[in-house]
Chains A and B, each alone.
Chain A
Amino acid sequence: MARIHLGEFEELVLLIVAAQTGEAYGISVLNDLATEADRKVNISAVHAALRRLEQKGFVESAWSKATQARGGRRKRLFSITQKGEAALVQIREIRNRIWGRLPDLGQNLGFS
């Protein structure tokens, strides 16, 4: 199994793209980052992460139809690829396995 090179921020962005099922673009990801993860980043950081994910083949993109908004400019809509899904699943499995080895972590760390 090939190693997956995915930074923490990239992973988060990938997850959001997957959750938005084909409707993800720069600003929607930016908003989710702010509301779900309480992370305020610059739009350029989101663009950069999306670009890297696309280069790695985890997401693919397509142009939306042009609308009145955005001065007639199209959106680049991102959706997750199979490779991307596989990567997310794999990461989750690795994490779950390791979590399983920590007995009563919830209590010790004060989670309810």
Chain B
Amino acid sequence: MNSPLPPEPPRWANRFLEWFCHPDLLEEIQGDIYELFDLRCQAIGATQARRRFAWDVLRSFRFSTIKNFDWLITSDMLRINTRIALRQMGKQKVFSFIKIGGFALGIAACLLISLYIKDELSFDQHYVDGDQLYRVVAHDSYQGEAHANVFFAAPMARTLLADYPEVVSSARISPGGLFGGGDNPIRRADRDEVTFDDGFMLADNALLELLEVEMLNGQQSDALTEPGSMVISRAKAERYFPGEDPIGQRMLINNNPDQTYTVTGVMENLPKHSHLHQVDFLLSLSEVEFWPGEQGYWRANNYHTYVKLRPDVDQAALETKLLSIIDNYYIPSMEAEGITDAREQSKNLRFSLQPVEDIYLKSGDIIDLLPHGDIRFVRLLGLVVMMILLLAAINFVNLSTAKSANRAREVGLRKVVGSRRRELIGQFLVESTVISTLAVVMGVALARLVLPFFNGLADKSLAFPWLSWWFLPILLGLALVLGVAAGAYPAAFLSTFKPIDVLRGSISRGAKSSWFRNGLVVFQFTTSIILLIGTIVIYQQMSYMQNKQLGFQKDQVLLLQATNTLEGQVNTFKEELSRLPGIDRVSISDYLPVEGTARNSNRFISEGDERLIAQYWLVDYDYVDVLGMDFVAGRNFSPDRLTDSSSLVINEAFAKELGYADPVGKRIERNGERTIIGVVKDFHWRSLRDKIFPVALSLGSSPGMMSVKFEAGKLDALLPQLQALWDRFSPNQALNYTFLDQQYAQMYTDVQRTRNVFLCFALLAVFIACLGLFALSTFLAEQRYKEISTRKVLGASNWHIIRQLSQNFLLLVGLSLLLAVPVGWYVMDTWLTDFAYRIDLNWSMFALAGGVALLVAILTISYQTVKAARIDPVLYLQR
């Protein structure tokens, strides 16, 4: 016969069949399937036949056909193995403690971070129609620099609704302080007492339905339709109207009868996980006009705009369609003001729709002046916590294999009396699962213990979801998965010992896997050093920001808030205040170089007809002196010159943008012609993340805040007098004050938080790595007692032996440093790009991190090395 080889069925399928099939049934089933295969080869071809063969095999994989496997773990074995595991732990208390404790630490960290991440991810997930809710974002680029914000003109919202059938409803809010949002003094119309409260926001009535605000009293459909109406939260209703019906009550803002609002609804406190959670007072935008004509004006952007779309709308397509708004409204309104290159100016303008559920975490570079989380921070934390868990698991693997020598004899004997490898693996897996279960229990307890501290650190109010149905199963699953994952290598490793080698004693005790163990130590230290580098860099950037020359003096300045309620008396109050002993100067202005104070954005036109955008700050004569700004050219405003009321003092950034060599004396257009009389040195009026942008100071009234420069050390004596003075002028309102340096520090609470979190976890990582190192050095030293004894007998000094024992470990740490530096450099350099004003990375940071790691490593192993070096050789040589 020289016909070609007959076609063969797929090997894997046949093997699978032979593997699972009960031997009594195999011949019949296999024979039939083979026969079918041969028949089909002739009928439908080999390829099809092979496919059908595999299918037949898979279909034959039934409960009734599979053989009786020896399952790894039966209940008897489980019981016995658990007992053996507990005995093993009892025998080696320190080792077991390090194993379990290290694991528990990792699990505790993992739990806390998971809670934190879950909390961050749960923002704005509570809307029924969440997938239809969007916020409109404007993207533009100015001199090559892209930026995005959420501020739109008053007609934007209604235009979206009218021009686009995709939009079901639209609503505006104005949360900023410029037009009455943010914090305000407020009082009941029928009481005298004024309270400085926050959480104010102006809003359209449509917002209530759009963001599904839960009303306790009043209707979603019309609570804010009346001009001068107001919806307050349950918390505020209970605070201002305890035991009364708030509906129909009137409240005065800024102690100003023109700002009287009537409570027309009470809403449930906005969910903690809403991006607007801080809002407690919703003031109606109905018939509000910030200035005459503002409601139809397209060139002043003061509103955030939300839309609800039809369920089936293609977001990207709609974003493209929105571009016609630029042609239809933006450009005509610019041209109406005589701007000839309107099209050129708005050529980069784009609109996008941001899902409301993304606002909190994924707003990145979008400027909206709302409190935010940061998705990058969340991801970073996730990474860090995985690392720590991995470190803890590695410790476990490392310690188990290191201790293998002690178990080798046990394994050998078990094999001799008939244990199969599979059963040994089962035994070690049970052992590691017992340990991981204990570790999970300890980890949960530990996490619960430090939760309050962690809440303080992360500025959260997290709680364990004990009662959620998924919580305990997840913990159980975690224990099992960790137990098996961490136990897999030691189990595989230990179960391979050959009885004859072990029992003859020829196995080199645990030395075999030193390569693997060394790799794990390197990994642990690399991770620890990266975290250390991160911590050091963040610390240095933080102290850089706190000590940077800011262009103004932030120390010894007290800020009085809500002074606008003094009304006509504000200047008298200022004069009397200035006369108090210990007070240097007092300035009245809402505009201060810290976040959370007044801001705006205005257009200026230079002599050369150049347009530029700058802040326009209303200040008084004392402003520059109170804040300790320096002039680079020109002079300050002077009460003696009448013309100064229409003069400007600008900052260097403004001057640079104007491009004049000497800007003093130049004229500039802004609500009439102004003269520049001075240039102050650039001062950081925004966070150090951002570049300094142009600011113009002008004399004017903005009486909401008073800055008081006091003499060092006089504060304690000063405060009672200040209180007395305030009570005389404003008996019905509590004195509210803060300090400029405190406000400044608050701008960087997030950096501080990152720093603290990093510090905690870096310490944790180092600690876990050291636990591992400690156990490992103990083990390796014990192994070499005989060798050390011999060396000592032959005349080696203690010092010599310590060096012998240490150098291997130190080499590993050194290698880790080499690996960690490039990674740490890259990661932290990326982090620093967020800051316009930043430190540069230099070798000293890396040296410090490496030094710390090395020092800790030396200290950790020194206990064991010194102990080993001082042993009595006689004891060990006799054996």
Q: A43 and B27: CB pair below 8 A? A: no
Chain B: CB-nearest residue to A69: B35
Report the minimal beta-carbon distance from B1 to chain A, rounded to whole angstroms.
12
Cβ contacts under 8 Å, B32 to chain A = 25-27, 43, 47, 70, 75
Given contacts A27-B32, A70-B35, contact A42 B56 (CB under 8 A): yes
Contact flag A42-B59 (CB < 8 Å), given A48-B64, A73-B30: yes
Tell me whether A73 and B36 are in contact in the complex, defined as CB-CB below 8 angstroms, given that A42-B56, A44-B60, A51-B64 are known contacts: no
Tell me if A39 is interfacial: C-beta within 8 Å of chain B.
no
In the bound complex, residues from chain B placing their C-beta under 8 Å from that of A51 are 25, 64
Q: Give the distance in Å from the alpha carbon of A11 to the alpha carbon of B662 in the complex.
A: 108
Is A70 touching B28 in the complex (CB atoms < 8 A)? no
Interface contact B27-A71, CB-CB below 8 Å: no
Scan residues 35-57 of chain A and give those whose CB is less than 8 A from a CB of chain B. 42-45, 47-48, 51
On whether the beta carbons of B62 and A73 are closer than 8 Å, the reply is: no
Q: Which residues of A contact B384 (CB under 8 A)?
A: none
- Does B34 lie at the interface of the complex (its beta carbon under 8 Å from any beta carbon of A)? yes
Question: Chain A residue with minimal CB distance to B60?
Answer: A44
Partner of A76 from the list B28, B36, B62, B64 (CB cut-off 8 Å) is B28
Min CB distance B11 to A, Å, is: 14
When the two chains form the complex, which single residue of B28, B55, B64, B65 contacts A75, counting CB atoms closer than 8 Å?
A: B28
Known contacts A27-B36, A43-B36; is A70 also within 8 Å of B60 by CB?
no
Interface centre among A25, A44, A51, A69 (most CB of B within 10 A): A44
CA distance A55 to B65 in the complex (A): 14
Q: Is the CB of B60 within 8 A of A27?
A: no
Q: Are B34 and A47 in contact (CB under 8 A)?
A: no
Q: In B658-711, which residues have CB < 8 Å from any A CB?
A: none
Contacts of B55 in A (CB 8 A): 42
Q: In the assembled complex, which residues on chain A have CB atoms less than 8 Å from the CB atom of B65?
A: 44, 47
**B interface secondary structure, majority:** helix
Residues of A within 8 A of B30 (CB): 73
Distance from A13 Cβ to chain B, minimum over Cβ atoms (Å): 14
Give chain B interface residues in 12-69, CB to chain A under 8 Å. 25, 27-36, 38-39, 55-56, 59-60, 62, 64-65
B residues less than 8 Å from A44 (CB atoms): 29, 56, 59-60, 62, 65
Question: A63 to nearest B CB, angstroms?
Answer: 8
The distance in angstroms between the C-alpha atoms of A44 and B36, with both chains bound, is: 12
**B34, A26: Cβ atoms closer than 8 Å:** no
A-facing residues in B227-270 (Cβ within 8 Å): none
Residue contact B34 to A43, C-beta cutoff 8 Å:
no
CB-nearest residue of chain A to B26: A73
* Interface pair A47/B35, CB less than 8 Å apart: no
A-facing mask of B51-91, CB < 8 A → 1, else 0?
00001100110101100000000000000000000000000
| A33–B35 CA distance with the chains assembled, in angstroms | 17
Centre residue among A27, A43, A48, A74 by max chain B CB count within 10 A: A43
> What are the 5 A-B residue pairs with the smallest beta carbon separation, nearest first?
A73-B31, A26-B32, A44-B59, A44-B60, A76-B28
CB-defined A-B contacts under 8 Å, sample of 6: A25-B28, A30-B36, A43-B60, A44-B56, A48-B64, A71-B34
Q: A45-B59, A47-B60, A75-B31 are in contact. List 15 more A-B contacts (CB 8 A).
A: A25-B28, A27-B32, A44-B56, A44-B62, A47-B28, A47-B29, A47-B65, A48-B62, A69-B35, A71-B31, A73-B27, A74-B31, A75-B28, A76-B27, A76-B28
Residues of B within 8 A of A (CB): 25, 27-36, 38-39, 55-56, 59-60, 62, 64-65
